[in-house]
Chain A
Amino acid sequence: MNFSVGLSTYLLVGAMLFCLGLYGLFAKKNVVAILMSIELMLNAVNLNFVAFNRFLATDRLIGNVAALFVIVLAAAEVAVGLALVIAIYRSRQTTNVDEFNWLKW
């Protein structure tokens, strides 16, 4: 059986990762898990960028560069996010988002 991995396979995996991240964003109760879900979404984006660069625009490296930028900025985002989690854990002794309800939605 002839099986080849093409662009659509990568895009499909990317879309699945993105949807998993989006699901985790809404379903998870622990704020650290939510941050991990967001990382999944960003990794789906990276996969898309790199796959598009590999299959469609091989002469220039914009897609690979974009993926690197996204990785760096996602790291910065998570660093700030974890600092905020620690700040809120100190005052409430919990990381459950259901208990972050001092400000009403």
Chain B
Amino acid sequence: MQTFNFLAITPEIAVAALTLILLAMGLLIPDGARKGMMPLTVFGLLGILGYTVYDFFFGKMGPAFQGMYFHDAFADFFKMLFLVAALLVVLSSGEYVQKFPAYRGDFYALLVAAILGMMLMAGAADLLTFYVGLELMTITFYILVGYMPHDGRSSEAGIKYLVLGAASSAILLYGISFIYGLTGSTQLYQVAMGLGSKVNPPVILATVFVLAGFGFKISLVPFHMWAPDIYEGAPTPVTAFLAVASKAAAFAALIRVYLVTLENQSFAQTGIALLLILASLTMIIGNLVAIPQKNIKRLLAFSSVAQAGYLMVGVIAESVPGVKGVLFYAMIYVFANMGAFAVATYIGQAQGSDEIRDYAGLARRSPLAAAVMTASVLSLAGIPPLAGFVGKFYLFSAVMDTGYQAIAYIGFVMSMVSVYYYLSIVKVMYLGEGEGLPDIPVRGAAKFAMVFAMLITLFVGIYPSPLAQMAMAAANSLLQ
């Protein structure tokens, strides 16, 4: 008789229950009375977040389900990240969702189902568990990206994401099937033991295929081509969630798979050469192509490609400080990017346009939104005293300690390049005239989400040690 420790997956069970409740409510409640779904989602997610924070500090950690699933501080850190990101998305998109056709009651249910997939990815100790989590997340995102059936751009983005996402899943799976063939197992530690230290063609094939699959999910160059189109066509709250949470989930799984199987040299030798090149290319191309962009969502898409490159630098460091840097940066990236996307959502639905030139004079028309956007993009650019500076400092110092100086220099230079296009948004907002464009007062939950994101970005930049200690604890739990 096997025993299952269901306590280890309490947040997952709670999220699954919340999904089903929201789905049932969306069907049962009449069209007019669906305003209650947003507060229910917010309070449900807050409750689960509270439990996860408690679990992070005081929970009993350890592998669960015969080593199929990890319940450790690393997974809990990422679960907190997904929940915070989802909360900010839900809070900042209330008015946007109200404009959906009345019969669509499943937006929040889908959003919460995506969180469940991400949580499974962060905790997966088996390649099969990881794959199921990944598909739960991406299939939900296909629906969310193409959520507006009467908007051709949304459907087009949905179908492009589906074709490319499914193809990349197939490539990832082909790699996993070879790993299974080489080791006779899909459980991560058994894979690590089974691979041995020889580098031979099947190992290289499996490594390249698995890393290519991951590369697509985190939009590494040259697998980034989907990002701008999908980010532009998707509903803006979905874009925000896609840019922040799905990328973080893929990083969680990548770090686990890569660093656990690193114990044997065969996977790492192929992997590190590949990752060094891809991370450098990602930082260079992401930042350079962002410069000529005219649409705020496309600009943020290329900026998020570049940010994936910075995060990759921490993975390449292959050390506790490197993983800590990735965790820290991923968390502050949530707040910075969510601040920017909350403003983009709000301004986009008020003006009906996502072009950067329509942000002209925003500092006069909507001072709060302009301030939040400025703080967010400066944090993304890594300007002190905002949080992004501290995060980049951790990432680049970790990789310097490991001995890869060149990639750190590329990162420095590209951060400076990124300041140019980030500041061009600020310039339009503060120096542009904005004749004839409406005043946009920010109200309600969106205001709270924006101010909260900005305050955390400022606070962590000035006083990073609490978050840094949490990231350290999570990184230690992974690399024991």
Contact = CB atoms under 8 A, between A and B. Distances in A.
Interface of A: 18, 21-22, 25, 31, 34-35, 38, 41-42, 44-45, 48-49, 52, 56-57, 60, 62-63, 65-66, 69-70, 73, 76-77, 80-81, 84-85, 87-88, 90-92, 100, 102-105
Given A42-B170, A84-B155, A91-B155, A62 B139 contact: no
B159 A56 contact: no
9 contacts: A18-B170, A31-B163, A42-B173, A48-B174, A52-B181, A56-B181, A84-B159, A88-B159, A105-B229
B181 A88 contact: no
Contact of B135 (A45, A60, A77, A88): A77
Given A84-B159, A88-B155, A105-B225, 9 more contacts: A18-B174, A41-B167, A48-B181, A52-B177, A56-B184, A66-B186, A77-B142, A80-B162, A104-B229
Given A69-B132, A77-B162, A100-B160, A87 B155 contact: yes
B173 to A, nearest CB: 4
Contact of A84 (B142, B178, B186): B142
B150 interface: yes
The 9 A-B residue pairs with the shortest CB-CB distance in the complex, in nearest-first order:
A41-B170, A48-B177, A57-B184, A52-B181, A88-B155, A103-B229, A91-B152, A45-B173, A87-B149
Contact of A85 (B139, B159, B170, B232): B159
A34 B173 CA distance: 18
Nearest to A41: B170
B142 A80 contact: yes
B128 A66 contact: yes
B163 A45 contact: no
Interface string B121-140: 00000001001100100010
B153 to A, nearest CB: 5
Contacts of A76: 135, 139
A69 to B, nearest CB: 6
Majority-rule SS of B interface residues: helix
Nearest to A11: B181
B132 A62 contact: no
B181 A81 contact: no
Contacts of B150: 91
Given A76-B135, A77-B162, A103-B156, A41 B186 contact: no
Contact of A87 (B146, B180, B181, B233): B146
Interface of B: 128, 131-132, 135, 139, 142-143, 146, 149-150, 152-153, 155-160, 162-163, 166-167, 169-171, 173-174, 176-178, 180-181, 184-186, 225, 229, 232-233
Q: Which of A25, A38, A87 has the most CB of B within 10 A?
A: A87
B152 A88 contact: yes
Nearest to A100: B156
Contacts of B155: 84, 87-88, 91
B360 to A, nearest CB: 23
B35 to A, nearest CB: 26
Given A21-B170, A38-B166, A81-B159, A103 B233 contact: yes
A62 B185 contact: yes
B162 A103 contact: no
Contacts of A80: 139, 142-143, 162
A87 to B, nearest CB: 4
A69 B167 contact: no
Nearest to A51: B181
Contacts of B178: 48
Given A49-B180, A100-B156, A105-B229, A62 B162 contact: no
Contact of B157 (A21, A41, A66, A103): A103
Nearest to B152: A91
A92 B150 CA distance: 11
A103 B153 contact: yes
Given A48-B181, A105-B229, A38 B156 contact: no
Contacts of A48: 174, 177-178, 181
B153 A102 contact: yes
A49 B174 contact: no
Nearest to A25: B167
Contacts of B170: 18, 21, 38, 41-42, 44-45
A72 to B, nearest CB: 9
A49 B180 CA distance: 7
Given A80-B139, A105-B225, A90 B149 contact: yes
A103 B230 CA distance: 8
A62 B180 contact: yes
Contacts of A77: 135, 139, 142, 162, 166, 169
A84 B131 CA distance: 23
Nearest to A95: B159
